[in-house]
Amino acid sequence: MLAGGSKLYADHVKVYPQRIWGKFRSIKWAILAMLLLIYYLVPWIRWDRGPDAPDQAVLIDMAGRRAYFFWIEIWPQEVYYLAGLLILGAFGLFFATSLLGRVWCGFTCPQTVWTDLFMQVERWVEGDRNARIKLDGEPVSLGKSVRKLTKHGIWLLIALATGGAWAMYFDDAPTLLRNFFTGQAGELQYVFVGLFTATTYILAGWAREQVCIYMCPWPRFQAAMFDEHTMLVTYEEWRGEPRGPLKRAAAEDKPQGDCIDCGLCVRVCPTGVDIRQGQQLACIGCGLCVDACNSVMAKINRPLELITYDALSAQADRAAGRPPKRRFIRPRTVVYFVMILAVGIGMLATLSQRARLDVSLLADRAPLFVRLKDGGIQNGYTLKILNMLREPGTFSLEVEGLPGIETRLIGADSSRIAVAPDDVGTFRLLLLVPKGAAPSGSSPITVRVTNLANGEVSIHDATFNAPQQ
């Protein structure tokens, strides 16, 4: 409470969205069904990668430090692909927003999708808007308790399926499901499933539009991507005002706009917005008010699209009696599109040519070198050969940079080094340089490892240390 009695936060007014049918509602149902199917079913898709490899198509294997996406296998040192995906997603979002407005918020954001699903369950169990308002106003009774418990029970089941599906992206889905219900899953798995179940239940069941209005940062800066050509849900004020009931228009001989002030656009809104008051942060651009108003306009025989999904420029054209013009190709949409293309092509190019062999060489720190009886100098190293392929690898090792440099690999033949599939081979490497061949101090050398099966080469720069003279 602030000085003078004013409040820091507005009171929460519960929103009771009314059911509506129409073009946007159908699109929302189709997208919701598709996204939920993808989310719940993808962990169950199998992908044969041969023996000793997980057969789950999409898997983030934290224990094995590997991410699998169908035929693509990402090792920890390739995590920059994840950064590339995030950059691609961000530019995709900027592009879609500058072109089509809040389509992410209204149709595909997980908060919108699960809230929509939870609201539909609420309608099935408690009825449409008026029935729900009435039920909430009633004193506690057996009937009311049964309805409320049923609704929350179904919500919790959906939330559990959602949390469980999320965990399945990090573990083998059939194994996790079996272990989860037989009490054999790990503690962490129960904790994470519980956490995501609670999050889904609270955000989609209770918080709903509060997440969009108060918690999500995206609505706060997406307006920077809008211009007069961006497609937005707006009320055509020039056509709707002055608003008033149909009867009054008939009784009073005053000019009246097409809006009959029926309030249906507000009652169907999932965030409780009155779009006739102009663009608002709370409007997620779902288009349900367009469906609502179109149904009213159709009933009273007025042109549709009093609330419309269109560019502000097209609306201005209509208001001025000009044919509406829309511009989809604009500097900002072109820039975003070019960025998407550049990042996408760059990622595809690096993916298609990425190395499946990696070499690391660590020089001994103490001693830096050993002087041999014959006056030669020896340096010791730890050589690691990472074979990222699913078949056994045979590699050759060559070292260049100093005259007469000799390679000794302890326990292996440097011309045929065997490394198991999907494994790291660790070897002790000794490099010997004859007397007088190594300059004093450190000298650059090059270590070359070649996969004898496919010719892939990994070159590693290193140094050879000799005593100061």
Total of chain residues touching ligand SF4, rule CB under 6 A: 28
Which of 112, 234, 271, 414 binds ligand SF4 (CB under 6 A)? It is: 271
Contacts of 158 (CB under 8 A, 6+ apart): 114, 117, 118, 121, 200
Q: Please state, in angstroms and rounded to a whole number, the distance separating the CA atoms of residues 353 and 78.
A: 13
The verdict on 286 binding ligand SF4 (CB under 6 A) reads yes
Nearest-10 crossing angle of helices 110-126, 142-168: 150
Closest to ligand SF4 by CB, 233 or 432: 233
125, 306, 462, 466: which one binds ligand SF4 (CB under 6 A): 306
- Using the rule CB under 6 A, which residue among 125, 207, 288, 385 binds ligand SF4? 288
Of the candidate residues 15, 67, 160, 283, the single one contacting ligand SF4 (CB under 6 A): 283
Contact mark string toward ligand SF4, 224..263, x via CB under 6 A = ---------x------x------------------xxxxx
Strand stretches in 327-389, DSSP E: 357-363, 370-371, 377-387
Tokens of residue 38, six digits: 């993808």
**Residue whose CB is less far from ligand SF4, 146 or 223:** 223
Kindly report each contact of residues 116-122 with a partner whose C-beta sits within 8 Å and lies 24 or more positions away, as own/partner: 116/28, 116/32, 116/270, 117/32, 117/36, 117/158, 117/204, 118/155, 118/158, 118/204, 118/205, 118/208, 119/17, 119/208, 119/270, 121/151, 121/154, 121/155, 121/158, 122/151
Distance from C-alpha of 449 to C-alpha of 447, rounded to nearest angstrom: 7
Is 287 a residue that touches ligand SF4 (CB under 6 A)? yes
**Residue 101 in the binding site for ligand SF4 (CB under 6 A):** no
Q: Which residue has 């100098």 as its token pair?
A: 377
Q: Among 74-82, 285-293, 404-412, 417-425, which window interacts with ligand SF4 (CB under 6 A)?
A: 285-293
Residue 427 has φ and ψ, to the nearest 5°, of -135, 155
Q: Does 158 bind ligand SF4 (CB under 6 A)?
A: no
Question: In the complex with ligand SF4, which residue's Cβ is closer, 171 or 209?
Answer: 209
Cβ distance to ligand SF4 smaller for residue 292 or 445: 292
> Cα–Cα–Cα angle for 114, 117, 122, nearest 5°?
125
For tokens 């962490």, name the residue: 188
Minimum distance, C-beta of residue 100 to ligand SF4, in the bound complex (Å): 13
With binding defined as CB under 6 A, does residue 213 bind ligand SF4? no
- Residue 209 CB, shortest distance to ligand SF4, in Å, is 8
Query: Would you say 243 or 332 has its CB closer to ligand SF4?
Result: 243
Strand partners, 450: 396, 457
Of 298 and 342, CB closest to ligand SF4: 298
Between the CA atoms of 15, 18, 20 and 25, what dihedral angle is there, to the nearest 10 degrees? 30
Report how far residue 27's alpha carbon sits from residue 288's, in angstroms, rounded to the nearest whole number. Answer: 10
Taking CB under 6 A as the rule, which mask of x and - marks residues 35-74 in contact with ligand SF4? ----------------------------------------
SS3 at position 66? strand
Closest contact distance (angstroms) between CB of 14 and ligand SF4 is: 16
Q: Contact residues for ligand SF4 (CB under 6 A)?
A: 233, 240, 259-265, 268-271, 273, 275-276, 283-289, 292-293, 296, 306-307
